[in-house]
Amino acid sequence: MSERLGQQLVVENRPGAGSNIAAELALRALPDGYTLLLATAANTINATLYPTLNFDFVRDIAPIGPVGTSRFVMVVNPELPAETVPEFITYVKANPGKVNLASPGVGSSPHIFGELFNMMAGIKLVHIPYRGSILADLLSGQVQVFFSSVPSTIAYIRAGNLRALGVTSEKRLKQLPDVPAIAEFLPGYEASGWDGIVAPKSTPSEIVEKLSNEIGTVVADPDIRKHLEDLAVEPMSMTAGEFGAFIAAEAEKWAEVVKAANIRLE
């Protein structure tokens, strides 16, 4: 985009509060097209997870365009006596309170994806939030299941150190062609990460349109597409309006999960 716009884009990382610090900073900036936010699925989860935010993520943005969607995979320790999603569900029902779901923290995408699985499967996994690495405990069997990004665990899956029960996308992935989609057993299940660009509300429509067109062109570039696909990120193509509708739908979907599972930040 820097090359196409003829202007340097500066990336300013503002971590903290589950990405809410960066989001508020960007959405409170002047709506002149010079401050943008790399939004993610976490922003739509946070809209309900954090009840006292100083902004409304859906209302206070000018959607510009998506970059891509990242897929996750449900992995278990191989010692768990379940080789398929139905066998896993049966095992959990027969062993209530004994199967632990690991995640990077309360309200994180892997946690929420697991809670959606709970809801649709009619089970209850014991959530274990981590501050550090999950893999050591997962590999040793201290925790049994994890909804992981594909790049994080694909090497362990291929080596047989972890068993993949299903991918969270609607269809199978070319990176893991032998792993079924969870939706093959729980119709309608879909849970993915995504990235896209938004601007503050009231950003002029001509600026939004120009930036949207540039993002779409960059994401469509064959070299960029290959780079994203190598990272298990599927490039996305939407107009600004379509992206806005997608964000609103994601926020509504995850609000139902957060409320149904009574997820609260400690």
Q: How many CB atoms within 10 Å of residue 54?
A: 11
Q: List CB contacts of 157: < 8 A, sequence separation 6 or more.
A: 73, 75, 163, 164, 176, 179
Q: Check: CB of residue 191 under 8 Å from CB of residue 168.
A: yes
Residue 208 structure tokens: 């939004």
CATH number belonging to domain 72-184: 3.40.190.10
pLDDT digits (tens, 9 = 90+) for 5-59: 999 999 999 988 889 999 999 999 999 999 999 999 999 999 999 989 999 999 9
pTM of the predicted model as reported, rounded to 2 decimal places: 0.92
Q: pLDDT value at position 9?
A: 92
- Mean pLDDT, rounded, for 59-85: 96
pLDDT digits (tens, 9 = 90+) for 60-70: 999 999 999 99
pLDDT digits (tens, 9 = 90+) for 205-224: 999 999 999 999 999 999 99
Specify which residues 66 forms β-bridges with.
196
Residue type, 147: F
Q: pLDDT value at position 266?
A: 65
pLDDT digits (tens, 9 = 90+) for 158-198: 999 999 999 999 999 988 999 999 999 999 999 999 999 99
Q: Do 2-69+192-260 and 72-184 agree at the fold level? A: yes
Nearest 10 degrees: CA dihedral of 102, 171, 195, 162?
30
Specify which residues 200 forms β-bridges with.
61
Longest dimension (CA), the chain: 61
Q: What is the 3-state secondary structure (H, E, C) of the chain?
A: CHHHHCCCCCCCCCCCHHHHHHHHHHHCCCCCCCCCEEEEHHHHHHHHHCCCCCCCCCCCEEEEEEEEEECEEEEECCCCCCCCHHHHHHHHHHCCCCCEEEECCCCCHHHHHHHHHHHHHCCCCEEEECCCCCHHHHHHCCCCEEEEEHHHHHHHHHHCCCEEEEECCCCCECCECCCCEHHHCCCCCCCCEEEEEEEECCCCHHHHHHHHHHHHHHHHCHHHHHHHHHCCEEECCCCHHHHHHHHHHHHHHHHHHHHHCCCCCC
Phi–psi pair at 194, nearest 5 degrees = -155, 160
Classify domain 2-69+192-260 by CATH architecture. 3-Layer(aba) Sandwich (3.40)
pLDDT digits (tens, 9 = 90+) for 225-248: 999 988 878 999 999 999 999 999
Domain segments of the chain as ranges: 2-69+192-260, 72-184
| % pLDDT > 70, the chain | 100
Q: Check: CB of residue 145 under 8 Å from CB of residue 135.
A: no
